[in-house]
Amino acid sequence: MAKNSWHRLLAATTELNITGIDRAAGPAGGRAAAEHGTGWGWERTRPGNPHGNSSPEHGGTRVQLLGLPSATRARMNVGTAHSEVNPNTRVMNSRGIWLSYVLGIGLLHVVLLSIPFFSVPVVWTLTNIIHNLSMYIFLHTVKGTPFETPDQGKARLLTHWEQMDYGVQFTASRKFLTIMPIVLYFLTSFYTKYDRIHFVINTISLMSVLIPKLPQLHGVRIFGINKY
């Protein structure tokens, strides 16, 4: 028994999946992934497993050795108040963030309204454009996490939108962040009195922020833009 576990430790740290477990994990992994929604785009890791699960169907375990300089300790979740492998996935579910988000948009709008040169329709269009541009940059362009995670960088190539809730689709936060630009678009269309030029600009801006949120585009990089 000790020998078996030692063997597994050795195999895990060198990331060799010598046993046939990995192959057998395929169908089970696929079925489970279908239950949870689509998983990560790039890496075929199991969604909904913040504990870094080492179930038999998952195959090799991701293990970090016990050499303990402080960088390694940070990577091993030592001294944390949660067992979340990637805290970025839970940020959008935190208490108060939806309210802060709405207040942020309100603040932006008020600041723009206080500039004397812009008329109300222009201000609304500007709010819409700046909001959608910021959302595109922070949710769909910036990749990875601003801190090191103990999972050896599974999320390095994923944007924040793809990281949310470990890739599970149609969660509450995802729905909220999809609906917000649409609501803003309605308000903007009303306040610009459906003028043609404003309509074209606002619609293009809305599309640019809605299309990346589609589940079919999870992990997709068109023409290799923003791949690495």
Partner 1 sequence: QCRLNVLITNFCSVSFFPQKNGISNGTLYKKTFIEHFEQAPMYVAVFTFVGFAVGTIFGYLRDFMRAWGLEKRNIAAEREQQKDFVPLYQDFENFYTRNLYLRIRDNWNRPICSVPGPQFDLMERVTDDYNWTFRFTGRTIRNVINMGSYNYLGFAETDVNALKTVTIELKKYGTGVCSTRQEMGTLDKHVELEKLVAKFLGVEDAMVFGMGFATNSMNIPALVGKGCLILSDELNHTSLVLGARLSGATIRIFKHNNMQSLEKLLRDAIIHGQPRTHRAWRKIIILVEGIYSMEGSIVRLPEIVSLKNKYKAYLYLDEAHSIGAVGATGRGVVEYFGMSPDDVDVLMGTFTKSFGAAGGYIAGKKGLVDFLRTHSHSAVYATSMCPAVAEQIIRAMKCLMGLDGTTQGLQRVRQLEKNTRYFRRKLHEMGFIIYGNDDSPVVPLLLYMPGKIGAFARRMLEKNIGVVVVGFPATPITESRARFCVSAAHTREMLDTVLNALDELGDFLHLKYSRYSKSSHPELYEESRLELED
Contacting residues toward partner 1, per CB under 8 A = 1-2, 4-6, 8-9, 12, 28, 50-57, 61-64, 66, 70, 76-83, 87-88, 90-91, 94-97, 99-100, 103-104, 142-148, 153, 156, 228
Q: Please, is 112 exposed, middle or buried when counting C-beta atoms within 10 Å of its C-beta (0-12, 13-18, 19+)? A: middle
CA 185 to chain centroid, in Å, comes to 23
CA-to-CA distance for 221 and 15, rounded, in angstroms?
27
For partner 1, the closer CB: 88 or 202: 88
Considering the complex, state which of residue 57 and residue 112 has its C-beta at the smaller distance from partner 1.
Answer: 57
Q: For residues 140 and 218, is the Cβ–Cβ distance under 8 A?
A: no
Minimum CB separation from partner 1 for residue 201, in Å?
A: 26
**Nearest alpha-carbon partner for 133 in 227, 198, 46, 201:** 201
Smaller CB distance to partner 1: residue 96 or 116? 96
DSSP letter assigned to residue 143: B
Q: How far is the CB of 171 from partner 1 (least distance, A)?
A: 17
Nearer to partner 1, 12 or 206 (CB): 12
Q: What's the min distance (Å) between Cβ of 70 and partner 1?
A: 8
Q: Which is nearer to partner 1, 89 or 125 (CB)?
A: 89
The tokens of 71 are what?
């960088």
Q: Report the b/e string of 68-98 with b at 16+ CB within 10 A.
A: eeeeeeeeebeeeeeebbbebbbebeeeeeb
**Cβ closer to partner 1: 91 or 220?**
91
How far is 170 from 37, CA to CA, in rounded Å? 9
Residues 6 or more apart whose CB falls under 8 angstroms from that of 2 comprise none
Q: Least separation, in Å, of the C-beta of 83 and partner 1?
A: 6
Could you tell me the smallest distance in angstroms from the CB atom of residue 17 to partner 1? 12
In angstroms, give the least distance from the CB of 188 to partner 1.
Answer: 23
